[in-house]
Structure 1
Amino acid sequence: MTQPILVIKDMSIVFSSPDEADIEAVRQVDLTLTPGKTLALVGESGCGKSVTARAVLRLLDRNANIPRGSILFQPEGEAATDIARLKQDSLPLRAIRGNQISMIFQEPMSSLSPVHTIGDQIDEMMILHEGLRPKQARERTVALLDQVGIPGARQRADAYPFELSGGLRQRAMIAMALACTPQLLIADEPTTALDVTTQAQILDLLRQLQSDFGMAMLFITHDLGVVAEIADEVAVMYLGDVVEQGSVYDVFARPSHPYTQALMSSIPKMARKAERVRLSPIKGTVPAPKDRPVGCAFTSRCPYAFEPCATIRPERTEVGGGHHARCHLLTRQPVEAVA
């Protein structure tokens, strides 16, 4: 069995404020990533997906910290490094960022420097991490831009981000992330702002590049259709908790947490005019992080909630081989019949 390259164990992320109580944005998350496989992290906006991903590279805000848990990164043949315990901007951490672990950010227009050309920004990665000379780096950059499907790669390398379309900027961001051939790629909603055709092209490109490089991928999205197309495993997040995790087939075929079931029910379905039915939205609203229940985070919106849900956090329960969920319904003892 292939050794995992990244194991996140019992990780919590807390944001502090001088005026209010600390807020636990991510609560005791467990994730495992394996070379050549894609783990999709899904959930509503604000559930903690991006914060979890940024924690892997320690790109959190200054008022955020990781008070508990570990982020063990172990490339093949190397000793494990706990990224959670590395000092911010230390040399060991900087050696990992962009080199062994890269990230495709959600919005390339705000992530790319507007005052530097695309080529200069990609060149810098290879000059810094691999010690290439500027001319060598530029040749590699042109080859990368061509590999990710940017037409006229040599000319586009001299373009500024505002001179490119959204799809080309996203491809340039992918080229930058792959500049040093990372062993783990984090893709934070890389297709959200793209049209359907460009989205399909980007997904095909990521699959092909993953096959070429054999890298592990953490894919963050709220689009379950994209998950079904690109992922091997899926972890469902709600209000900072991973409530269900397993293979894509298991989670889609047998959703075991009420939140996952509600997500599946809310997907629009193709139907004939005579068979039209109303959408089934998830009732209620997501509570503010400071108002999160002590127990199950989904308690206030769950139609099956009962007494212990609000006060006791559910244990991670195995539903099937490698398929887990956090729900009291899975461990609830049936009421004995009265004689």
Structure 2
Amino acid sequence: MAAEGPLLTLDDLSIVFSSPDEADIVAVRQVDLTLRRGKTLALVGESGCGKSVTARAILRILDKSAAIPSGQIIFSPDDAEPVDIATLNPDSIAMRTIRGNRISMIFQEPMSSLSPVHTIGDQIDEMIILHERVTPKQARERTIALLDQVGIPGPRERADAYPFQLSGGLRQRAMIAMALSCNPDLLIADEPTTALDVTTQAQILDLLRQLQDDYGMAMLFITHDLGVVAEIADDVAVMYLGDVVEQGDVFDVFATPQHPYTRALMSSIPKMQRKAERERLQPIQGTVPSPKDRPQGCSFSSRCPVAFEPCAKVRPDPTRTGKQHRTRCHLIERELKPGEVIV
């Protein structure tokens, strides 16, 4: 019987990087996220906002200087008791059983993630043999089947190829095959289409959607491209400087964005205009502050066009602006009456 409730829950998660010469840097601050079973949660934001660090925390592959001072990462698979990943030793057997087996990850750049001195087939074989009781021959046959499933032509021959012998699109497909080799409950895709051309991006997105349907897995999709979010996600969380400033159902967030940062992101997207005259793009003014110089209050207050006095001094609490829609903004708090919810 399938378990009830979300597959993955991040509760009040903070991630801090320490340095012997400088003060600790808070990269992720009190993040709350919920990933539903079989659904896709998109994590969106500018570069450096904490998306990849959050994903790496889930797999406990953070840098040695990083620590999780507070918060929980509750993983609740169908066939096992829930576990708080944040409490596990990264090198423990329990964590190694989860990493790559129950939770897999597709990294940003396959050329730097795949070993250049081992063939594609050997690297996928190793993943299968590590987590399952199979012979090398059985592992190779499964590898070939996976390469064929992700659309790599001539999979038996390609299994003997080295990463540098494949195009960017084929390397990304090989990374997807490796991530799916143990039929994970959760697939983390960290900007898997960033380095690809537009046509190949569309093919990879179609492939991920199809594989999600085939395997019934949940997916955490990390991107800075809102167009990709609209195409693949069920839910979306918008991050800025380590904070989740808005989250909810993708249709609600796109139809009625509440946070000024979300609105600014959507306004900066180029749009096809039918008018004869051209319109200038609307960039977000200013630059992302360094985590060392994080504003005391709202993380977006230094760039927000509608900021007022409390924004720079007091961090806003999440406010429910719909059934599954929450926004961390003082402007929302000021506009709402006690007990009122924007629907």
1:105·1:111 contact (CA, 8 Å) conserved in 2? yes
Between 267-276 and 218-227, the greater mean CA deviation after superposition: 267-276
Offset at 1:276?
A: 1.3
1:324 aligns with 2:326: yes
Deviation readout 1:200-254 (Å, 9 max, x if unpaired): 1100100000001110000000000000000000000000000000111100010
Task: Determine the C-alpha separation between the residues in 1 that align with 2:336 and 2:21.
Answer: 46
1:204 match? 206
2:27 match? 25
Fraction of identical pairs, as percent:
77
1:9 aligns with 2:11: yes
1:40 match? 42
Question: SS where residue 262 of structure 1 aligns?
Answer: helix
Task: Determine the C-alpha separation between the residues in 1 that align with 2:64 and 2:168.
Answer: 30
1:7·1:73 contact (CA, 8 Å) conserved in 2? yes
- Choose from 144, 165, 168 the match for 1:166: 168
Alignment: residue pair count: 335
2:341 match? none
- Choose from 276, 279, 287 the match for 1:277: 279
Offset at 1:131?
A: 1.8
Task: Determine the C-alpha separation between the residues in 1 that align with 2:336 and 2:169.
Answer: 54
1:235 match? 237
Deviation readout 1:96-141 (Å, 9 max, x if unpaired): 0000000000000000000100000000111110021100000000
| Structure 1 residue runs without a partner (length 5+) | none
Task: Determine the C-alpha separation between the residues in 2 that align with 1:214 and 1:264.
Answer: 30
1:73·1:83 contact (CA, 8 Å) conserved in 2? yes
Offset at 1:272?
A: 3.7
Deviation readout 1:306-337 (Å, 9 max, x if unpaired): 111111110110001100000001111689xx
Task: Determine the C-alpha separation between the residues in 2 that align with 1:102 and 1:14.
Answer: 23
Deviation readout 1:137-172 (Å, 9 max, x if unpaired): 000000000000000000000000000000000000
- Choose from 40, 49, 52 the match for 2:51: 49
Task: Determine the C-alpha separation between the residues in 1 that align with 2:142 and 2:285.
Answer: 51
Task: Determine the C-alpha separation between the residues in 1 that align with 2:227 and 2:19.
Answer: 37
1:112 match? 114
- Choose from 218, 221, 224 the match for 2:223: 221
Question: SS where residue 31 of structure 2 aligns?
Answer: strand
Task: Determine the C-alpha separation between the residues in 2 that align with 1:151 and 1:175.
Answer: 13
1:259 match? 261
CA RMSD, Structure 1 to Structure 2 (Å): 1.2
1:297 match? 299
1:2·1:34 contact (CA, 8 Å) conserved in 2? no
Offset at 1:273?
A: 5.7
Question: SS where residue 321 of structure 2 aligns?
Answer: strand
2:124 match? 122
TM-score normalised by L of structure 2: 0.96
Task: Determine the C-alpha separation between the residues in 1 that align with 2:305 and 2:230.
Answer: 26
1:245·1:323 contact (CA, 8 Å) conserved in 2? yes
Question: SS where residue 244 of structure 1 aligns?
Answer: strand
1:245 match? 247
